[in-house]
Structure 1
Amino acid sequence: MLRLTCMLLMFLFLPAISWGQTSYPMLMGLKPAAAQLGTSSEHELESRYSMFGADRVIVSGEGVTGKIVTPMEPGKDGKVPSLTKIKIEFTVTKEAAEGVREFRVLGPTGASTLGQVVITRLPIANESDKNDTIETATEVTVPAAICGTVEKSEDVDLFKFHLDAPATLTFHTLAMRLQDKIHDLQSHVDPILTIRNSTGSTVAAADNVYAADPYLSHTFSEAGDYYIEVRDVRYKGNRYWNYVIEVSDQPYIETIHPIAVQQGQPASVKLIGTNLGELDSVEWQPGEGVALGMQEVQLPLPGGRSNPVLLAVSEHPVEVEQLFSEGSEKGEQAISIPGGIAGQIEQVSDIDSYKFTAKKGERFTFETIARRLNSAMDPIIWITNSDGKSLSENDDLRTWGKRTYQDSMIENWAAPADGDYVINIRDVHLRGGEQFTYFLSATRSEPYFELVLDTDKTQLTPGTSGVLFARTVRKNGFTGEIELSVENLPEGVTAHGGRILSTGTDGCIILEAAADAKPTAMNIIVHGKATVGEGDEAREVSVAAQSMQEIYMPGGGRNHWPVSMHTVAVGAPSDIRSVQLDQMEISLKPGESIKVGVTIERAEGFDKNVTLDMLFQHLSTKYANVLPKGITIDSKKSKTLLTAKESSGHLLITAAKDAPAVEKQLCSVMANISLNFVMKATYSSQPLFISVVPEVAAEKVADADKK
């Protein structure tokens, strides 16, 4: 920290040194991509844009810490060096949870994008420089977590291992799943895994199991030498296509039944996997530390813990599917509402059916959670009446904007008449087996909302402001306002909490760093609070927002991927030192326009284009618009592009003739600098409050002022 402080002072008092169109680091690859429990290990981290000055590593969860190993020394010529490769060290406790962790580095340019590291109990084995033939295969001792890279076109990596006796091994690959959150990696690996014997003949192979990542278990009937071959199925390559292959002779749990449990209640869980021996099931109870929803846990096994297992934790009772429902001629098991059924599609073409009774107009929501929990099942659900007529059907569901999942949901379905109904479920491809587990949740539809943050980080510098956008998805008739708040802010940072109006979907929080704020960073939590329901059923609800990582899509599109952290970071002074408005509060009458002047303070030497905006948008898509309904920016009469050394512009804010009344909606005026075709460095003004006052009300106010 002392070194970083000295560097920041250098940036402040030596005007010849300029970051100039500064970008935060965009993490691209980590080698090796895995770290072992109970060890400290060194890794090479590569990024786009410089990591110079990085002094801290943040890792999600507990039990894993990171630190920067590479010395951060300024260049002898007084210029800031570009540093796109550094060494970092991860230290992992023996008690740490296994699985994939998110991490980022922090420095003068703020918080980097997210990287991922695999935490494993297995010893790490690294790919050698040349291992593309059987003769040059990298020799490894199994069990091991094998780390490598499909780094170029037609790259084929081979690893040789020896078995002294027959054995059953599992091969679990993490590759494509390590790249979903790399925002600047537009093409992902599609790995295929092949096991060969000493003559090169194929003895086993696997392709897509966990999304594009392969998994297989194989019983080797003879001792001898064997080879693991991994390549991209298309014979493509990329220097950032890192992978981890966990090779083990220990129990490996693919899924469990039931795949869902009620919070706080004990459950007997049947284990489905490999190398389980006589171990058929375990007793497990989700304790206080296990939250509701989809969770990754390690179940207790004799002598230790299982590999990470995905399951659902429900607040409602969870029943287990009965193969034959007593007293039902059709084999339809009754389902409790609210509640859920944990079941299996045990065989090919199997259909499970659950009966419920409803009054006319009653509304229900049915959701399946299967593929999201690594089940082999791709579910489809449909509702039938007592005559077997299909009333509603759903295959894939969509959540968090553009994200789609192979699980299914029928939401806010209204019963057309009093009577009995059946919710049916099967695999869409009519497959089946013990790995085809599911959880079918059944609830009465109630108004609620979801909340999503547009990004995974907010960058600040001393004396500047940044804006954090939140978008809601309204469910089951919810139309209320949502108040936004933030917890766990870094020292020296304050928040101006906004709201999402009942007529809109977006809101914002403006964060402000004090002029003397020190370099710092914290992971924050954003909440949306609202009143849902009416009359006696009205209640206050608080929803935690889901953070999203920006993704650079092929062709220049922008997308998102859900992540576990949103980091607020204060870095060194950068390209823009302030965004000032000539007025901080405006009131418009319907049909009226008001010009708001904007002045930016440029850092010495910074002469790149800056774009002013109040909407967060890319190409033709608006990702956030917090303006009140009926309020627009007249782009033709606004000056939004500040070229070269220009520092002043303006926005003409216009109210439509039918704009509804609103009082003091918190808005942001942004100064955007392009980092690449998709990503922007965004600076914000302090809050601009916009009100719309009907003309009659405005006249009354004016008369009162005169009196």
Structure 2
Amino acid sequence: MSPPCPNGPERRAGARAIAAMMFLVVLPASTRADWPRHRLDGAFPPGGRAGESVEIRLIGGDLDAVEGLWFDHPGIEADRIEGDEKPPRFRVTIAPDAPIGLHDVRAVGPLGVSNPRAFVIGDRPEAVEAEPNNNPGEAGPIAIGSVVNGQINGATDVDWFTFNGRAGQRVLIRLDAFRLDGTLDGEVRLFDASGRELAYGHDDLGQDPFVDATLPADGTYRIEVRDVVYSGAPAHLYRLTLHDGPHVDAVVPRAIAPGETATVSLLGRNLGGEPTGTLLPDGLPLERLEVTITAPPEAAFDPDRPGVGHQSSAGGGVAGFWYTFENDRGTAEPVFISQALAPVVVEQERGTGGAPPRLEPPCDVSGDFLEVGDADSYRFEAKKGQVWIIEVFADRIGSPVDASLLVQQIREDGSVVRDIGEADDLGDPGTGPRFGTGTVDPILRFQAPEDGLYQVFVGDLFNATVPAPGAVYRLVIRPERPDFLLFTAPSDPGSPEGVTLHAGGRATASVLAHRLDGFARPIRVEAEGLPAGVSAEPVVIAANQAVAPIVFAASDGAPPKLGTVRLVGRPLAEDGSPADGPARVAVAGSITRGPAPVAPARVTRGLVLAVRPDAPILLSASPSEVVVSQGEQVELTARVARRPGVEAEIQVSADALPNNVGADTPKIEKDKDEATLTLTVPGNAEPGIYTVLLRGTGKVSVPDPVNPGQAREVDLNEPSNPITLTITKK
């Protein structure tokens, strides 16, 4: 083996998708939505200013009967505006102390609770673009230090804006679209009064554009916003921010121990700090400013409340907090700081001909690739048989670094004895279609073959041609600790709404396990904080599984409710008995575009559950616990209870079955209320404890929840109670 090349041509998004697809496994069959759902593609404008109110309209499907909006923070309230407009409009009032940053909004109505969409709270004056503004002569005004909310709604739609600036003024232009869960692939151009292009932005901050420019003269300037392929749609929403205030690209170190007060360096623009010596692609300096930050205590790292920034599914399991920098010129966007996993070390660049720095594991090293072609190396000593987990956090903390690792045994003079191991992307563990947690970050299990000196090379496959100001990483060397991360997401990748539960019926969500350091035990998952009248039996994610369903049930007559629930996972022994190990709270998430083998997804603010009036049927399975040996069959009884007036033939199937286990698909005839389903467990089925369920499908006519007094035909897809299936060896 040879040292990994730090200048590969791959882009992170493509590398992540390839790595994830390479590791895809067979998942339980996805479920089709049983009722029409409120589908929210966006709210426009997609944000507002703290302390003010804004009138918004909804974009999506089946929204005409929406009654209200759910926000993740009590400081954001919505009132429906009276009138006949469909979908209805809402006046959103934002409290002065509502946290600056990204929040979730969902539509709520007789069809339940929708999927989330981003709603941003800022502290600058806000406006909405006014059409026509499709050419420079129609450019609308935007003041420095303000935000304009816009929409590219049509293939030929291009939005122009104009502002006045001063010679030598350093202005920053940020277009948020992807992080708003929108479909716009935006690009931004800056022109002077003569029409000369001064700057261009595309895919600069993740998949959104960012422009940093120093104005050459006093005068008028114009900004052009458009989709990079001239696409347009109602959900092509954006927030265009023009300001001369602070912008933080990175924080060094990128991790702080819980409760600790640390002096850190902010790297960015317009910070009021000193030049770092690094020049950005446009020749402007990157600044450094030291500030003091106190991390919250460990108890405050709450996965149910992940903060106010955009956190991708890849980084959903990284504990930390969001820090917002302010100075007399404004407020910067929040930046994520991780919870340190070991004593924190900041990279020290070696001089010409100098030896790489020596580390004393365990350690949490903050490094960077601010210069083109940079690659870092570190040395440490290890005893024979000693095991360390060596991993890089970059993609998972929002950095553009696409890291690779190489570990070598070396002599004291630096000559190489042998290559020990190398690592690149960490593939998706099987959660991809619902909430992909694969990453382009590398992780390596190192076991020292003998006492000696070892060297770690960290390379960057992304930073090939231009400096990347946010190109920071964490190199963590830590003991091996088998553990797991827990996530929850909608069961149906094609319809990622919240959990809508009908009184007297059931609904499901998926619980997803990302196993760490060889953790291979079953995980028992329980729901906490359920409202009165709602229950959920504990379920088990088998030792060889990444996904299992959790089933929520509402009692007959349960009143309408809306809120969040908490799922907690605990490790089990192989026989299903409780085992030592910490409990893990599930981080909620949702895909934002899809379905796809690995769809873009982000962390959301809690698993939202709504209770609505009566379910047309209740499907039950018995027995609820079965034990079967390899090579045998077992029979389950499916029973259906129909509401008065509901006449339907119900097709029964098994869902979430272990690999290689099969089942027949009996029917419950219209004049019957039960059928028998046979599970076949072949000799190659892996022993273990599994959670499975039955599903009942069919077409039925029910009272229309949107139009009272009318009937509506719906496609049922009703889950049964969960069944604990234990497969034993033959």
TM-score, normalised via structure 2 length: 0.78
Q: CA deviation at 1:530?
A: 1.3
Listed as ranges, the matches of 1:193-232 within 5 Å are: 193-232=188-227
Aligned partner (choices 619, 639, 646) of residue 579 of structure 1: 619
**1:15 equivalent in structure 2:** none
Amino acid at match of 1:471: L
Listed as ranges, the matches of 1:70-469 within 5 Å are: 70-71=81-82, 85-163=87-165, 167-179=169-181, 188-278=183-273, 280-288=289-297, 289-290=300-301, 293-299=319-325, 301=327, 306-324=332-350, 330-386=354-410, 387-388=415-416, 389-399=418-428, 401-402=431-432, 403=436, 407-428=440-461, 429-430=463-464, 432=467, 435-455=470-490, 457-469=498-510
**2:12 equivalent in structure 1:** none
Aligned partner (choices 66, 69, 78) of residue 67 of structure 1: 78
Listed as ranges, the matches of 1:597-616 within 5 Å are: 597-601=637-641, 612-615=652-655
State the alpha-carbon separation in 2 of the partners of residues 661 and 216 from structure 1. Answer: 56
Compared with structure 1, are the counterparts of its residues 250 and 645 closer, same or farther at alpha carbon in structure 2 (3 Å cutoff)?
farther
1:39 partnered with 2:52: yes
State the alpha-carbon separation in 2 of the partners of residues 551 and 654 from structure 1. Answer: 37
Q: Deviations over 1:132-175 (max 9, x none)?
A: 11111222323211111111113211012223665221111111
State the alpha-carbon separation in 2 of the partners of residues 362 and 569 from structure 1. Answer: 51
State the alpha-carbon separation in 2 of the partners of residues 329 and 473 from structure 1. Answer: 42
Q: CA deviation at 1:342?
A: 0.8
State the alpha-carbon separation in 2 of the partners of residues 561 and 680 from structure 1. Answer: 27
**2:23 equivalent in structure 1:** none
Listed as ranges, the matches of 1:450-599 within 5 Å are: 450-455=485-490, 457-530=498-571, 539-550=580-591, 553=594, 559=599, 561-564=601-604, 565-574=606-615, 576-581=616-621, 583-588=623-628, 590-599=630-639
State the alpha-carbon separation in 1 of the partners of residues 83 and 698 from structure 2. Answer: 26
Compared with structure 1, are the counterparts of its residues 608 and 322 closer, same or farther at alpha carbon in structure 2 (3 Å cutoff)?
farther
Preserved CA contact (<8 Å) 1:45 1:85: yes
Compared with structure 1, are the counterparts of its residues 308 and 510 closer, same or farther at alpha carbon in structure 2 (3 Å cutoff)?
same
Amino acid at match of 1:598: A
State the alpha-carbon separation in 1 of the partners of residues 687 and 569 from structure 2. Answer: 23
Structure 1 residue ranges without an equivalent (≥5) = 1-19, 74-82, 181-187, 616-623, 696-707
Q: CA deviation at 1:692?
A: 5.3
Q: CA deviation at 1:68?
A: 4.2
Compared with structure 1, are the counterparts of its residues 336 and 647 closer, same or farther at alpha carbon in structure 2 (3 Å cutoff)?
farther
Q: Deviations over 1:197-221 (max 9, x none)?
A: 2222212111111222111111113
Preserved CA contact (<8 Å) 2:489 2:510: yes
- Greater RCO, CA 8 A, separation 6+: 2
Amino acid at match of 2:427: R
Q: Deviations over 1:374-409 (max 9, x none)?
A: 434333222122143443223333356334776422
Identity %: 22
Amino acid at match of 1:293: A
Q: Which moved more, 1:514-523 or 1:254-263?
A: 254-263
Q: CA deviation at 1:304?
A: 7.1
Compared with structure 1, are the counterparts of its residues 532 and 58 closer, same or farther at alpha carbon in structure 2 (3 Å cutoff)?
farther
**1:184 equivalent in structure 2:** none
Cα root mean square deviation, aligned: 3.5
Preserved CA contact (<8 Å) 1:449 1:475: yes
Preserved CA contact (<8 Å) 1:395 1:406: no
Match of 2:179, SS state, is helix
Compared with structure 1, are the counterparts of its residues 411 and 516 closer, same or farther at alpha carbon in structure 2 (3 Å cutoff)?
farther
Q: CA deviation at 1:639?
A: 1.9
Preserved CA contact (<8 Å) 1:378 1:406: no
Compared with structure 1, are the counterparts of its residues 163 and 481 closer, same or farther at alpha carbon in structure 2 (3 Å cutoff)?
same
Count of aligned residue pairs for this structure pair: 632
Preserved CA contact (<8 Å) 2:508 2:551: yes
Compared with structure 1, are the counterparts of its residues 201 and 304 closer, same or farther at alpha carbon in structure 2 (3 Å cutoff)?
closer
**2:279 equivalent in structure 1:** none
State the alpha-carbon separation in 2 of the partners of residues 152 and 559 from structure 1. Answer: 24
Q: Which moved more, 1:24-33 or 1:266-275?
A: 266-275
Q: Which moved more, 1:114-123 or 1:269-278?
A: 269-278
Amino acid at match of 1:199: S
Amino acid at match of 1:243: Y
1:28 partnered with 2:21: no
Structure 2 residue ranges without an equivalent (≥5) = 1-32, 275-288, 303-317, 491-495, 701-713
Q: Deviations over 1:516-537 (max 9, x none)?
A: 211112212211111699xxxx
Amino acid at match of 2:539: G
Preserved CA contact (<8 Å) 2:250 2:268: yes
Q: Deviations over 1:16-46 (max 9, x none)?
A: xxxx963221111211112111111111112
State the alpha-carbon separation in 1 of the partners of residues 373 and 336 from structure 2. Answer: 25
Match of 2:373, SS state, is coil
Preserved CA contact (<8 Å) 1:488 1:522: no
Compared with structure 1, are the counterparts of its residues 659 and 153 closer, same or farther at alpha carbon in structure 2 (3 Å cutoff)?
closer
Amino acid at match of 2:521: G
**1:5 equivalent in structure 2:** none
Q: CA deviation at 1:72?
A: 9.0
State the alpha-carbon separation in 2 of the partners of residues 667 and 592 from structure 1. Answer: 17
TM-score, normalised via structure 1 length: 0.80
Compared with structure 1, are the counterparts of its residues 560 and 344 closer, same or farther at alpha carbon in structure 2 (3 Å cutoff)?
closer
Q: Deviations over 1:331-377 (max 9, x none)?
A: 22122322211122242322221112223333322222234444343
